[in-house]
Amino acid sequence: MHSLTHGAAWLIFVLTLPGVAKAPVDLSDRSRVVITRQAALPAQSVKTGVPGRQWFFSWGYNGDNYTKSDMHFSQPSLNNEFTLFGVQARDSKAWTDVTNHGLFVPQYNIRIGMFFSEKWGIELALDHIKWIVKDGQQVRMAGTFNGATVDTPVTLTPEVIEYQLNNGANPIFINLIRRVRMAGETGRTGHVAFLAKAGGGFAVPHTENKLFGEPNEKGFQFFHGWNLDAGVAVRIHLWKPIYFEFEDKFVYARYFGVKIDEGTAKHSVKANEFIFNFGLAFAK
């Protein structure tokens, strides 16, 4: 018993010697070191952009092939209410002759829009197309003329009719676009994409005509037509944001209230339109 008590006292004496017992750990100092080290690490970059998002703008020229249309004329003060059936129209000089004209002739196209993502986009499109009734064709005329019933063939000479939307049929479209990547990265040199477009809108025709030698009041007529379109295009980025686009599309437009002498006309425009555009695309 005496030896046990003596051993315990000796152990207590050793533990109380300076430097033998462990000093208590200051956890607050260690936490400050960890926080300091974490603060020194480089911040991770956070990408907020949407892949494929772009703004774009383009300018180009078009050529057009038209199907036949029926044209209805109403001149109440002259007792005229008749239709010309199967009228063939033509465009003006196509894109191949553009070097002989100014920037805004003969037939041009403007596009502005954006892609929300790699796949989907929207555009506002103006197609300055020209619709000119061909001279010398023979068509059927039926209805009332000078108060008398008529149903007869008639040759469309300048003395009978000169009808043209020569400062433009001017359909304006809002198109939804589906984009499919064919090669390269979006917006980079060599990027190739297939585009499918469809939409509709309104028309601002510029009317200029003579009916039986009597001219109309020339000018633009806002919202005197509605239209639909659907087409496909291939867009190739030639150098970074600069691209070339070829588009082929079908257009249907319906014009009404078109000014003629002492009355109005209405008719449709059905076209296959081919377009060459150059544009710029910028990441948003």
List the end-to-end C-alpha distance of the chain, in Å, as a whole number: 90
In a domain, 44, yes or no: no
Residue 72 in domain: yes
* Low-confidence spans in the chain with pLDDT less than 50: 1-17, 19-23, 25, 27, 31, 33-41, 43-47
Range(s) of the domain holding residue 164: 54-283
pLDDT for the residue numbered 111: 97
At residue 37, φ and ψ (nearest 5 deg) are: -65, -40
Number of domains observed in the structure of the chain = 1
Q: Which CATH number fits the domain that encloses residue 174?
A: 2.40.160
Per-residue model confidence (pLDDT) at position 97: 55
3-class DSSP state for residue 91? coil
What's residue 101's pLDDT?
59
State the pLDDT at residue 31.
47
Residue 245 lies in a domain: yes
Residues counted in the chain: 284
Q: Looking at the DSSP assignment, which residues form a beta bridge with residue 176?
A: 122, 198
- Name the DSSP letter for residue 116: S
CA angle 260, 263, 265 (to 5 degrees): 60
- For the stretch 235-255, what's the b/e string if a residue is b when 16 or more beta carbons lie within 10 angstroms of its beta carbon? bbbeeebebebebebebbbbb
Q: What residues have CB less than 8 Å from 268, skipping those under 6 apart?
A: 69, 70, 252, 253, 254, 255
Q: Assign 238 to helix, strand or coil.
A: strand
Report the distance separating Cα 123 and Cα 77, nearest Å: 44
* 3-state DSSP assignment of residue 245: strand
Query: What is the structure's pLDDT at 1?
Result: 47
Using CA atoms, how far apart are residues 229 and 119, in angstroms rounded to an integer? 20
Contact between 175 and 122 (Cβ < 8 Å): yes
CB burial of residue 269 (10 Å; 0-12, 13-18, 19+): buried
Q: What is the CA radius of gyration of the chain?
A: 38
Per-residue pLDDT reduced to its tens digit, 75-111: 999 999 999 999 999 998 655 555 665 665 679 999 9
pLDDT at 5: 45
Say if CB 178 and CB 194 are below 8 A apart.
no
Nearest to 168 by CA among 87, 99, 222: 222
